[in-house]
């Protein structure tokens, strides 16, 4: 039993640590990944959504300026920094 302790002490860092690392590497490899095409598509969609939102903000501002009784349903999740009543 006394001889076993140093062997375990040597084996634990030599085998245990790479095991731990490889375990997480495999887990990471198995995680959902997207392909290059998916990535390009997502990039385009994200940029498109952002541009559309910008345009819609402008349109809402114009409409609100022309019709004072109309209030745009501004999303609560993205607080915008522009004032709806502002007119250029």
Partner 1 sequence: MSSSRTKFYLDKQNSKWLGVCAGIADYTGVDVTWVRVGAVMLSFFGGFPWTLIAYWLVAWMAEKKPYGLYDSPDDAKFWQGVRSNPKRSTAEVRSKFRDIDRRLADIEMMYTSRNSRLADEIDSLR
Binding site for partner 1 (CB under 8 A): 13, 17-18, 21, 32-34, 36, 38-40, 42-43, 45-46, 49-50, 52-53, 56, 59-60, 63, 67, 70, 72-73, 75, 77
Which residue's CB is nearer to partner 1, number 23 or number 50? Answer: 50
What torsion do the CA atoms of 68, 73, 79, 80 make, to the nearest 10 degrees?
Answer: -50
From residue 30, give the alpha-carbon distance in Å to each of 22, 23, 24, 33, 37: 12, 11, 10, 8, 19
Shortest distance, position 2 Cβ to partner 1, whole Å: 23
Q: Are the C-beta atoms of residues 86 and 57 closer than 8 Å to each other?
A: no
CB of 70 to partner 1, least distance (A): 5
DSSP label at residue 21: H
**Which is nearer to partner 1, 4 or 64 (by Cβ)?**
64
């Amino acid at each position: 039993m006394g001889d076993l302790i140093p062997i375990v002490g040597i084996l634990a860092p030599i085998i245990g640590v790479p095991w731990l690392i490889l375990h997480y590497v495999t887990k990471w490899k198995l995680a959902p990944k997207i392909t290059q095409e998916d990535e390009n598509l997502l990039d385009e969609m994200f940029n498109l959504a952002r541009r559309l939102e910008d345009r819609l903000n402008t349109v809402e501002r114009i409409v609100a300026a022309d019709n004072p009784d109309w209030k745009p349903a501004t999303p609560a999740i993205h607080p915008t920094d522009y004032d709806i009543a502002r007119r250029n």
